[in-house]
Structure 1
């Protein structure tokens, strides 16, 4: 019988510290999700389905390992979370699926629709690929070996969502149970009945635009490629965290896992071919993608088109920003791609809603000289971009400024202390995922521009 795994996000120990998730005065994310999860488990079991509840004292990595030790290709796994936001008006439920997997997107829509049928008062934020998440990828979706989804049921910081989560738990659980049961049936009905047991269809492989002589296989709608391709693409298997399977005496790795190591992964449905492009095979110079002091790779048009893809409503008001970033960064020798993607992180893709306001022209979240909560303000968009570029130059290198200093905190930075994007985490922002969020936007930018 197919199994259904369900995990309540957070609650375990991360680096020896209990992780409750989002914390409110009267409750926590972990406490709310555990209560919903327990009701879902009871409902599924009452329907005669085989369901396994992930222990609550496991870390995120241990949760994945626990599921992988027990799951099979015909099983499904769901993790439920709740969101939190400084803007209490932000609300709604979202189902995340692994990017570029149309089958999993369909599964996400199935589960989300079932939930909304039971609780129509929830605001739908739709289904989203994990590349749209703040970190650019979700380990639960990429590392669990059976089909997996991650759902944010609502925002604990929004009064309406919190009320629904706490007072409509039974309906939430029924909706999730409906969706999980339908998803499990869909996964198992999609197994090709004509194929002999243990046989998986072959797929073609292209690497940097050229056909690869070996073929891959399709396992539960996921592309797997021979493990020797990792060497071809320059991915070190000694440090890489990729899913591996052995089939017909060949070890295969899950293609989508390679995206975490700078590899672009696409799919051509017409020819049933997985498309792989390495950083070396693209136009981005190896070793410069994550450096603050480097040449950017994108054009003004490519930046503008990417901005349109992440926030179409911002294009008219901020049409000149790509030009400003390229010009100001070129003067100081800063990577304009890094600066532009940092702007998307700091301003919520120019939707704002956080501590920054559009009137400040502070696109990089540069602090005020006195350390005030409101941050710095600048007389124009160009000056605001210039201040951000100068602050990046302070962190990334030792060269003096070319233009007059407008960054109010340039002199407070130990020069060259953080030459790499990841090193901005905990420095520019107290968010330890800050660098990862910038790099997630950069990967999306380069893929959209055909550079990666």
Structure 2
């Protein structure tokens, strides 16, 4: 399901105001929560927002963008105002639509789901000739979430917990209306940043060239949606939504307004994937994999192979873990490149960025030793010095699989190990594609 999510107003247009609140701020806060809850909770959802910050955008720009993108649904988030006396929630579809239309049917589903949680007076399901309802090609709904100038409603609107509940009410309605499937516990989510979708491959390649000129790596990813061939421009795949959102903002700062986040789910077997084992992928493939995403990445593949083989650790999956921890060696978190800490050892927040090591090689050695502490209860082999400062803090043998690192290496760390394995699966896919390409070249010669 492709949702065009429109936080009303923004920038030079503040919308309604009252009780120390601006409508544009509340609309954006609720919409961002809707996006996060949808992407985190449901499979096969794409969300393109009209704005993700306090920016000005005309109504025509919004509906044109939704129409060109081919959204399945247009949802516009608002708050109301009327001389301080009115209260409650209401939503609107276009007034030319019948009560039996598909748009009205969606409204019939979403309205009661929002009302279940918002603690507001029910002002009913209504119709109006609003621009976003009239000019959008897809079914559209505009919701008015309380009266910002009413003291009682505003007291609720000011609460972050209330805005979260309202967002979830919208999500519950969308899930019911579009029969969205919840993610299962053994599903890993990858958040992909799409910098435009095109019917023409040439147009997509032009967008890739522009992003490259702005220093943003991108590539064309063909996909069939609703029986039609599309060419997406993908610029990054992340296991953390916040990292995807940071890339999305980077793309938008480069002038690409039709960028959005989509999700992909991969199921990991519940039995678990052992940490101990033979490294399967070559150092060259590991290095090339990260350079496809971050061309400035240093080369660590050989260290992960050597120390992985010595300690009997899956060095290639440990390499994938380092990609997860460092955002593909871009170090966008609290750990800095000069620390040579590729697995976040001891890092707990801005005030404690964790351990530091003298060289990249020593940093990889510490990483492998820490994995050995979790995966084995045997004494540490003695050829190399112990450089992991937290080795003796680990309950030896307490996590023999990557999934078992959940809640241990990262806290709370739900799906931490699965996220690592998803990156490893991407490395495997890259290896297979390169092999197929090589075979084709050999056949051609």
TM-score (norm 1): 0.47
Please tell me whether Structure 1 or Structure 2 has the larger radius of gyration of its CA atoms: 2
